[in-house]
Amino acid sequence: MNVRDSEHLFAELSTRADYDRTDRPEEADLILINTCSVREKPVSKLFSELGQYNRIKKPEAKLGVCGCTASHLGESILKRAPYVNFVLGARNVSKIVDIAQRDKAVEIDLDHDESTYHFSEHRSSPYQALVNISIGCDKECTYCIVPHTRGSEVSIPPKLIIDEIKRAVDRGALEVMLLGQNVNNYGRRFSGPEARIDFPELLEQISRIEGLERIRFQSPHPLHMDDRFLEVFAHNEKIVKHMHMPLQSGSTAILRAMKRGYSREWFLERAARLRQMVPGVTIGTDIIVAFPGESDRDFEQTLDVMRQVAFEQVFSFKYSPRPLTKAAQMPGAIDNQEASARLAILQALHREQLSMAMAAQVGTTQRVLFESQEGEWVLGRGDNFYLIKAPADKAAKGEIRSVQIVMADRGALIGTQVA
């Protein structure tokens, strides 16, 4: 979502004002840092980066902080780094042209509604279009700062989404990536009286766009993975067969403390149903280790879910206490060394599982959208998310081709037969 916000920032500045991009910060008239606040590390990095940019920038150049940390720290950024010119929070992106002309300005209104705003167009990838379908999040996961930085959930009207995708396809996009904190909760609230459709219906409507080859989305919530959603996912041929199912923890007690709204059993049942309905599906997940109060047994339960589901992709994190969240007040903090040890065990299990899953892909044929070139190889994603490499003389960027996989090599599958 931050990448899409950055595209919007640049689109507004280049069409409604006179900015262009430069790779040389010392020549820039305006420097924006688009921030994340989901864990603590990027927040501390912000202030050291601001200091660096302040040293190298032209004296009259402006410096702005955007994104979730801007929402969260607001005014206090100007106190700690007085040379910053403005602070522009997430879901206030459409105000960039205005705020870039002001000094010591702060725009972090959490109720600001951008769900019907017509952003100017800019896309970093010609083949894959990132398209927001909702903003904010209505959940209250106790570890998560996002509802406090992106505000409550509003769906973007279907017509705006479909028109945006059609325009991207007209300009050559083959794939769309639908974005939201909770994509499969789409349609619960609109800010106007538009046609009220839900996520499965939105997927069906998008899949009827001619020229669009593939649909992906990020991130769905396991709680809203009902049968109808899984049916559409399974049977709609344009939907890439990779599902993100953020587990967070495999222990029902911890899930309850996290306020995730599902149990370990629900998650296991949904994942098993998904594997059964969609042969060849790959499943990704997010896991937090060392949430306050996580016992050895709770952690073992997370490993057990991993053994049962055998995720093909795992993003794993040590719990990081965040301001404004309920978990930050909970007792039972886990020692940092123990947290690191748990993370290492979990990641070793995942590496083992992934290399087995990848080895099992050898001999299969996959449809790949090639997106980049590195030396003699072109790289792209297969129908079920694996990164696939093929010789550049057999395929080119921007093509969708069938590739037979001959070997698995550190994070990528290698294919040589290209048709």
List residues binding ligand SF4 (CB under 6 A). 137, 139, 141, 144, 146-147, 181-182, 221
For CA atoms 55, 56, 58, 61, the dihedral sign is negative
Q: Which is nearer to ligand 5AD, 286 or 399 (CB)?
A: 286
Position 152 contacts ligand 5AD (CB under 6 A): no
Position 317 contacts ligand 5AD (CB under 6 A): yes
Instruction: Tell me which H or E stretch contains 43.
Output: helix 40-56
Which listed option, ligand SF4, ligand 5AD, none, makes contact with residue 39 (CB within 5 to 8 Å by class)? Answer: ligand 5AD
Position 78 contacts ligand 5AD (CB under 6 A): no
Q: Mutual orientation of helices 199-207 and 158-170 as an angle, nearest 10°?
A: 30
Q: Which of 222, 220, 232, 226 is nearest to 183 (CA)?
A: 220
Type of residue found at 365? T
Asked if 161 contacts 206 with a C-beta cutoff of 8 angstroms, the reply is: yes
Instruction: Tell me which H or E stretch contains 177.
Output: strand 175-179
Type of residue found at 282? T
What distances in angstroms separate CA 395 from CA 94, 176, 362, 401, 419, one per listed residue? 39, 21, 19, 7, 9
- DSSP category for residue 183: G
Position 248 contacts ligand 5AD (CB under 6 A): yes
> Mask of contacts with ligand 5AD, 22-41, x by CB under 6 A?
----------------xx--
Q: What is the closest distance, in whole angstroms, from the C-beta atom of residue 141 to ligand SF4 in the complex?
A: 3
Q: What is the closest distance, in whole angstroms, from the C-beta atom of residue 137 to ligand SF4 in the complex?
A: 3
Q: What is the closest distance, in whole angstroms, from the C-beta atom of residue 322 to ligand 5AD in the complex?
A: 5
Q: Which stretch binds ligand 5AD (CB under 6 A): 82-90, 182-190, 313-321, 348-356?
A: 313-321
Which listed option, ligand SF4, ligand 5AD, none, makes contact with residue 87 (CB within 5 to 8 Å by class)? Answer: none
Q: Which residue is nearest to ligand 5AD (CB)?
A: 286
- DSSP category for residue 75: H
Position 143 contacts ligand 5AD (CB under 6 A): yes
Distance CA 132, CA 93 (A): 13
Q: Which stretch binds ligand 5AD (CB under 6 A): 71-79, 257-265, 293-301, 317-325?
A: 317-325
Strand order in the sheet with 105-107: 30-35, 62-67, 86-89, 105-107
Q: What is the closest distance, in whole angstroms, from the C-beta atom of residue 318 to ligand 5AD in the complex?
A: 7
Q: What is the closest distance, in whole angstroms, from the C-beta atom of residue 344 to ligand SF4 in the complex?
A: 23
Does residue 39 sit in helix, strand or coil?
A: coil
Residues engaged in binding ligand 5AD (CB under 6 A) = 38-39, 143-144, 246, 248, 286, 288, 317, 319-320, 322
